[in-house]
Amino acid sequence: MPNQELLATLQKIVGRRYVLTDPKMTAPFRRGYRSGSGKALAVVRPGCLVEQWRALQACVAADKIIIMQAANTGLTEGSTPTIGYDRDVVIFNTRRMKTIQVLPDASQIIAFPGATLFDLEDLLEKYNREPHSVIGSSCIGASIVGGVCNNSGGALVARGPAYTELCLYAEVKADRRLTLVNELGIELGQAPEEMLARLERKEYSSSDISGPALKASDIDYASWVRNIDSPTPARFNADPRRLHGASGCAGKLAVFAVRLDTFPKHKLEKTYYIGTNNPGVLTKLRRDILGKFKNLPISAEYMHRDIFNISEQYGRDTIWLILMLGTKYLPAFFATKALIDGWLAGQALFSRQLTDRALQTIAKILPNPIPKNIRTWRDKYEHHLILKMSDQGVSEATGYLCSFSEVSDFGYFECSPHEAKLAFLNRFAAAGAAVRFEAVHKGDVEGILALDIALRRNDSQWFESLPEEMEGALLCKLYYGHFLCHVLHQDYIIKKGANVEAIKHRMLDILDRRGAKYPAEHNVGHLYRAGGTLAAHYKDIDPTNTFNAGVGKMEKTKNYSK
């Protein structure tokens, strides 16, 4: 099918205004959240599940590479094109399909491809329940389906990575047939368009919904993370335990819907702010909490003093934005910023960093929102842990920390609700602070190497020590993460003139020797190489290499030909 005929067909299916071909209009969809970009024949924005099915059929018939995309908030270039393809690329942006259906008793939901974590959190409020993840990703509009496809982790200790075995998706078979697979656990019929239309209209009854034979969350994770003597990580993207259907598919399938568990809200919550200058103290605390506590914490977020300082300075406007507007308008703000950045990237007179520099100018005149108590802890201690407990776990943690405070070089205080909110907001702002730093100091920075790693559960030497020659190539090292899960984000701001790629290979070699797995929760994208097991899985679910070709640094050619 010639390209013009394909474009005309797509316009007929979804409407002319929802097939974008102008490079200026497609730029925000072709650029990664942090890095990466490539060309695309078109960006298609279906408005319903049947439109998505028909548009997929047209692109498969035309022999195009298909990239499925929702919010485009991934950090490893996994939902945007790259270079070197042997076929044209068509991006499917699913944000118009935002439906969330609540199943009986609200213990489970069905999410369509464009529905966001924020949408779900807001919807579940009236049921006094909450979704898998309630921090970080929900604030910037990340999609529910995207989290499942990437086995994204999150901050909540007992819930593990986003996971379900209940989903509805399309795959391209070896004979190039587009096939709809219903593993949603809901009887919808046989013909694809009939099934999708029935789901869209919610034309199913309680008798059509199957029971709990398949999992709609990682129900084993709470016991898994407690195994503190295991020589393997608690969670990472390529874990074979969690590669099933849409879960962990990394865009190698076209997902139409996922079915997920929801969780009751806690009645009582308490946050403790902990500080120490000795990493060994946090090692003992982690082992005691996971090994001895009856109640797992809600979350336990680690920050090193250096990322605290960077976040305090370069994430200040983000914190104030949330304080003044709440998280409701934040996804729209980031989407608008992405559109402006995309437009600026195509203008010779402007820099793509213009918006970040303007926002940082505003940030400088804003008052410091972080409470004095927390800033005092920053001055006193190098390592920080924000520990949140719930219900019976509150008294358990209070008693433990009281006795633990006899340990030298250790301190903590119980946060007021305001202090707790600001502590977590500072931790949230850390994720974008390094990017802002790079934009403002472009003349001093060669690039950012952002790694998210999963350490072994029994690893006591969690705090990194680098060779002296590597330290010399870095402006700063920024460490933060989900401490009890032993998932750390390690961002390295690299000095101008240094070889970023060489440093990356050296870093990954060090991690390999430590027995760490990477990436832990942002998927391989186009930045990491898929290992043998993961690569074989991708080839199994997408034998023709139609979807997201090249992900995991694999072949970009049809049928993975050399």
Measured between alpha carbons, how far is 158 from 132 in angstroms, rounded to an integer? 10
**Phi, psi of 104, deg, nearest 5:** -50, 135
- Average per-residue pLDDT in the chain? 92
Name which residue leads in pLDDT, 477 or 152: 477
At residue 68's C-alpha, the angle toward residues 8 and 505, to 5°, is 130
Average pLDDT over residues 124-149: 81
Name which residue leads in pLDDT, 353 or 459: 459
Q: Which pLDDT score is estimated for 352?
A: 60
Q: How far is CA 423 from CA 274, 301, 359, 429, in A?
A: 11, 10, 22, 10
C-beta separation of 116 from 142 below 8 A: yes
Q: Which pLDDT score is estimated for 215?
A: 95
Q: Which pLDDT score is estimated for 246?
A: 96
The share of the chain scoring above pLDDT 90, in percent, equals 76
Q: Which pLDDT score is estimated for 359?
A: 84
Please tell me whether the overall predicted TM-score, pTM, comes out greater than 0.85 for this model.
yes
End-to-end CA distance of the chain: 25
pLDDT over 90 (residue 146): yes
C-beta separation of 521 from 153 below 8 A: yes
Tell the residue number behind the tokens 């969330």, with chain if given: 100
Name which residue leads in pLDDT, 56 or 431: 56
Q: Which pLDDT score is estimated for 434?
A: 85
Q: Which pLDDT score is estimated for 348?
A: 61
The dihedral through the CA atoms of 304, 306, 309, 315 has a sign that is negative
Give which of 244, 238, 255 is closest to 70, Cα–Cα. 255
Q: How far from chain centre, in Å, is Cα 88?
A: 27
Q: Which pLDDT score is estimated for 201?
A: 97
pLDDT tens for 327-374 read 667 767 777 777 777 677 666 656 667 888 888 888 889 999 999 999
pLDDT tens for 263-286 read 999 999 999 999 999 999 999 999
pLDDT tens for 387-400 read 999 999 999 999 99
pLDDT over 70 (residue 140): no
pLDDT over 70 (residue 139): no
Helix, strand or coil for residue 286?
helix
Q: Which pLDDT score is estimated for 138?
A: 42
pLDDT tens for 175-217 read 999 999 999 999 999 999 999 999 999 999 999 999 778 999 9
Helix, strand or coil for residue 449?
strand
Average pLDDT over residues 482-496: 95
| Element housing 321 (H / E) | helix 316-325
Measured between alpha carbons, how far is 517 from 511 in angstroms, rounded to an integer? 8
Read off the tokens for 170: 């399309």
Average pLDDT over residues 86-96: 97
Residue 386's beta-bridge partner residues? 273, 301
pLDDT tens for 499-549 read 999 999 999 999 999 999 999 988 899 999 999 999 999 999 999 999 999
Measured between alpha carbons, how far is 133 from 161 in angstroms, rounded to an integer? 9
Q: Which pLDDT score is estimated for 523?
A: 87
pLDDT over 90 (residue 380): yes
Q: Which pLDDT score is estimated for 135?
A: 57
- 137 — pLDDT class (breaks 50, 70, 90): very low
- 255 — pLDDT class (breaks 50, 70, 90): very high
Measured between alpha carbons, how far is 85 from 550 in angstroms, rounded to an integer? 8
